[in-house]
Amino acid sequence: MTNQNNKTEYQGPERVFSGVQPTGQLHLGNYLGAIKRFVHLQEEMETIYCVVDLHAITTWQDPKELHSAIREVTAFYIACGLDPKRSILFNQSKVSAHAELAWIFNCVARMGWLNRMTQFKDKAGKNRENASVGLFAYPSLMAADILAYKATHVPVGDDQKQHLELSRDIAQKFNNDFGSLRPGAEHFFPLPEPLIAGPAPRVMSLRDGSKKMSKSDPSDMTRIHLSDSDDDLAKKIRKARTDPEALPSESAGLKDRPEAENLVTIFAALADRTKDDVLSEFGGAQFSAFKPALADLAVATLAPFRDKAEELMAAPDEIDRILEDGAARARAIADPILAEVKDLVGFI
Ligand code: AQP
């Protein structure tokens, strides 16, 4: 799993870090692109999963809604299978190393690097002058999230690939600038590896197969929320855009059929099957037969997460306790790393 070059150079332990923003409701893309993999990885490595509330405020968040969304993401983390004893679960603002290291990385990263980030361009849109400075510097904070723990592996959806590459550039430049001044510190930070090749690294909108499923799409019908009722789940799948053709019997036949490909990908990812395997069952079927089967599968898989998350949300003190405990364990890893960084940079 580890990049061989990185492994020979960086000698620290393998460690996973990732996060989800508490902005709006979690959707199927967040689950299949990220959280489902988080759960598998906790069986294999040390895992640290964060609710990235500092990232959330790079765009306006109502404070009351943010408060409740932090708990909700935590509840879904646990409901989907993350074990707070096995994985470290916490919210980012509780561990000051993230913000402190992000500042240092703002001084390592170059304007030209950040100027190339497509997510900033997409999110700032035409009104770039009015975007927050935090939105522009988002990738430096993301690098800090990962490197505050010297994490070696980062499971994310495909949309985060460019930010991960920037994290590697920041780690490399920090190593070059500061590590070379002290023997043995040339490989102070690992170059974190993205883990993107999941079963559904880019889940697309249910209404437009060329756009990714996203929290910020104005229409609810474009995405399946993890909190949707069974009826809403089934309705959204029933109304998902498709083409008039029957399903092909092999995945090669999905080429140039983005909506069909998306639904088959979702089915395969939810069922832990390959697309070819799904098509060997449904090849030749019309969407009128496939959609109800997908709706049943989605309800059977997602409804238990929703119900468990609701149960957890009814005990907010327990969620807060889990976050507090996770933050203490996170600080125990990050604080000594940050102390070394400060020393390397020359702070007293
Ligand atoms: N459509 C998607 N398919 C696969 N993975 C996805 N992710 C997000 N959308 C998809 C992955 O989910 C993780 C958490 O994402 P996030 O909440 O931190 O931020 P995001 O990528 O900005 O999520 P959204 O829904 O797309 O929000 P908006 O609408 O604000 O842009 C990440 O690993 C992400 O890759």
Whose tokens are 């959330």? That residue is 56
Mutate to test the pocket of ligand 1, among 82, 132, 195, 215 (most ligand atoms within 8 A of CB): 215
| Ligand 1 pocket check for 198: Cβ under 6 Å | no
Sign of the Cα torsion 150, 90, 70, 219 reads: positive
Residue of 123, 161, 235, 308 with catalytic role = 123
Check residue 184 and give its pLDDT: 85
- Residue 176 C-alpha to ligand 1 middle, in angstroms? 32
Q: Which has the closest alpha carbon to 155: 33, 265, 46?
A: 33
pLDDT at 197: 75
CA of 186 to the centre of ligand 1 (A): 33
Q: Strand 46-51 relative to strand 88-91: parallel, antiparallel, unpaired?
A: parallel
Q: Which of 36, 94, 150, 212 is catalytic?
A: 212
> At 121, which amino acid appears?
K
Count the Cβ atoms, other than its own, within 10 Å of residue 76: 25
Predicted local distance difference test score (pLDDT) of residue 4: 45
Query: DSSP letter at 284?
Result: T
* CATH architecture designation of domain 6-202+316-345: 3-Layer(aba) Sandwich (3.40)
Atom of ligand 1 nearest to the CA of 217: 29
- Ligand 1 contact via 296 beta carbon (within 6 Å): no
* CA 184 – CA 196 distance, rounded (Å): 31
Vertex 202 angle, CA 198 and 204, to 5°:
140
Q: pLDDT tens across 137-167, in order?
A: 999 999 999 999 999 999 999 999 999 999 9
Task: Give, in order, the Cα–Cα distances in Å from 137 to each of 20, 183, 317.
Answer: 17, 31, 33
**R_g over Cα of the chain:** 21
Domain residue spans in the chain? 6-202+316-345, 220-311
Residues of the chain under the 70 pLDDT cut: 1-8
What pLDDT digit, counting tens, does each position of 110-143 carry? Answer: 999 999 999 999 999 888 999 999 999 999 999 9
Residue 130 tokens, joined:
């009015």
Q: Which two tokens stand for residue 144?
A: 């800090």
Residue recorded with tokens 């043995």: 184
pLDDT of residue 87: 98
Whole-number Å distance between alpha carbons of 179 and 117: 26
Active site includes 212?
Answer: yes
Identity of the amino acid at 71: R
Distance, in Å, from the CA atom of 14 to the CA atom of 190, rounded to the nearest integer, reads: 10
Amino acid at 307: D
* Contacts of 286-293 spanning 24+ positions with Cβ under 8 A: 286/246, 286/247, 287/242, 287/247, 287/260, 287/263, 290/247, 290/263, 291/237, 291/238, 291/240, 291/242, 291/263, 292/234, 292/238, 293/267
**Total residue count of the chain as it appears in this document:** 348
Ligand 1 neighbour 268 (Cβ under 6 A)? no
CATH code reported for the domain at 220-311: 1.10.240.10
Query: Is 123 one of the catalytic residues?
Result: yes
41, amino acid identity: L
Residue 1, pLDDT score:
40
**Is 7 designated active site?**
no
Atom of ligand 1 nearest to the CA of 200: 4
Expressed in angstroms and rounded, the spacing between residue 120 Cα and the centre of ligand 1 is 14
Q: Which atom of ligand 1 is nearest to the CA of 155?
A: 33
The rounded distance, in Å, linking the Cα atoms of 45 and 40 is 9
